[in-house]
Amino acid sequence: MFREMLGNLSGVLPGLGRLGGVIVLVLLAASVVILLNAWIRERCRSWGGQGGWRIVFSMLFTLLNVLLVLFVVMAVAARLTTLAQEFSANHGRVSETNRTSVERIWGRPRVQDALSVNLTVERVHDLTPAELIQSLQRVAQLYGTRTESGAVQASLPKGEEILTSDGLKAVKYPGITPIVMQRRVAEPVPGDPILSEKHAVSLKMNYRRKGTADYTGFEESARFAYEVTNRAEMDVRAAYWFPLQQDELLYDGIQVTVDGMPVTDAEISLEGLRWTERLPAGAKRTIEVAYHTRGLDFYRYRPGEGRDLRSFSMILSLAGVPKERLNYPEGCMSPTRIQERAAGITELEWTLADAVTSGAMGVALPARAQPGAGVFRAIRGAPWSLGLLIALLVAGLLLLTGGVEVLPMLMTVGCWYALYALMAGLADVVALFPLQFLLSWLAVVPPVWLMWRRVHPGLAAGRFAAACFAAMAFISPLTWAWSRDSQTVTNLVVGIAAVIPVLIYLSVMKRRAHR
């Protein structure tokens, strides 16, 4: 337990470490402000009689303060941009190395090809003259004589015609094995023997975590049914071949049945299932193949390019995938029917009749939002929101007090960065973004609130500055984290949500001041 707690706390340290550079920058800027302030004030007192120089030094001091604040704001904004890039690279990253590891442990994207049935009939053919010459060479070598030129002259004895054990004609010569004069040829029966297909595939989401990323895994239960017939007027040899994905890790519970009876002599390997039988003329068979396996990202069933799909039906059931999140791999046709059932099951059905297609049937499973996705989107909008915050603070304080304190402004900029750095550090420790945001907000906003209330005790300016930071620190991260719109639209929403309350508040304060 103690080691686990230490491991979780170590995830926060990178975020805290990233605070170091910003804290140093803010402290250096604050030191410069304090030193310049004391130096300028001393010069102004010594040159008190020279009014013009005092005005010049006051303007110079103001300009230096403005440039210093702008420098710090720009530096922190640049650091926030870098923080977003670092966070995207190190949190929720789908790397090729991790993906390869998941494929080796869990499985790969699933591709299933259809059953292949080859019907052949054996016919007897006489040997061609060339084949006869090759067969008779042994006889010539046994009974022939070699001339001076090297040629072989043979006087073949009369052979006895017989039938071999498998019914082929042969000639028997004394002293050698019979010479077979015929051969059997397996001729394919034309036409597609598959009359209909009816398949049922169930996929259940099972996301796999590797490193800091989630991969779209699923469990699969499949049952394929084919109706096969022999249209020939004679018995044929039926060779069945059901391919399996060779790079798949596991097939469990494989079942092969013909007319409901298990096939005991099927050859099962990672390449596929293979078996043969004698199929009588006009006979029909119902072939069923079932198994359980696992996969990643998508499922695809390929019925066979250019085949005549006389009667095709396939139902793909998805557990945990709502209808609005459906998507299809490239080359897959849309389903004929989509229906949502109870218990979170979405059914996709493909129904074809007398069709020819080069497409496939399948679905691309929805990817889960990677850990820290909300934090990344929030950090991405932080630089623009920082500029808006400083603009609102400067405008409000000038209207309410006629001046802006540089040191509290610099500390506010540093706390703005601290808010997002803490969220980034908590991303691997706390699973939910609302909790990540709330902990960071509670850690940063109260100190800023107390600081501005001390700078302007009892004045509306202190309440305004503290409330402005707290509201902006609340509006900007949440809006950016849950927005799916473009950056321009999101910036506009944040700007409207922040500016309108500030304008209302300032107008109310001005009216009270005039009373």
Q: CA angle, 359 as apex, 358 and 365 as ends, to 5°?
A: 160
Q: What is the pLDDT of residues 85-100, one digit of tens each?
A: 777 766 665 667 778 8
Query: String of b and e for 414-431 (b: at least 16 CB within 10 Å)?
Result: bbbbbbbbbbbbbbbbbe
- Who's near 77: CB < 8 A, 6+ residues apart? 382, 383, 386, 387
- Report d(CA 170, CA 177) in Å as an integer: 10
Confidence of residue 266 (pLDDT cuts 50, 70, 90): confident
Q: Report, in angstroms and rounded to the nearest whole number, the Rg of the chain calculated over CA atoms.
A: 41
- Report d(CA 123, CA 125) in Å as an integer: 7
- Report d(CA 363, CA 348) in Å as an integer: 9
Amino acid identity, residue 172?
Answer: K
Q: What is the pLDDT of residues 337-353, one digit of tens each?
A: 999 887 789 999 999 99
- Tell me the two tokens of residue 239: 């060779």
How many C-beta neighbours within 10 Å does residue 269 have?
9
β-sheet bridge partners, residue 145: 153
Place of tokens 């030193």: 35
**Backbone torsions φ then ψ of 56, nearest 5 degrees:** -60, -45
β-sheet bridge partners, residue 185: 123
pTM: 0.60
Confidence of residue 17 (pLDDT cuts 50, 70, 90): very low
- Who's near 130: CB < 8 A, 6+ residues apart? none
β-sheet bridge partners, residue 340: 346
Element containing residue 360 per DSSP (H, E)? none
Nearest to 96 by CA among 213, 181, 176, 177: 213
- Tell me the two tokens of residue 407: 């040191």
User: What would the mean pLDDT of 366-375 be, rounded to a whole number?
Assistant: 77
- Tell me the two tokens of residue 95: 């790397």
pLDDT surpassing 60 at residue 514: no
Domains, the chain, ordered by start: 2-18+76-91+371-514 (no CATH), 100-119+194-364 (2.60.40), 128-180 (no CATH)
Q: What is the pLDDT of residues 384-423, one digit of tens each?
A: 888 888 888 888 888 788 777 888 888 888 889 899 888 8
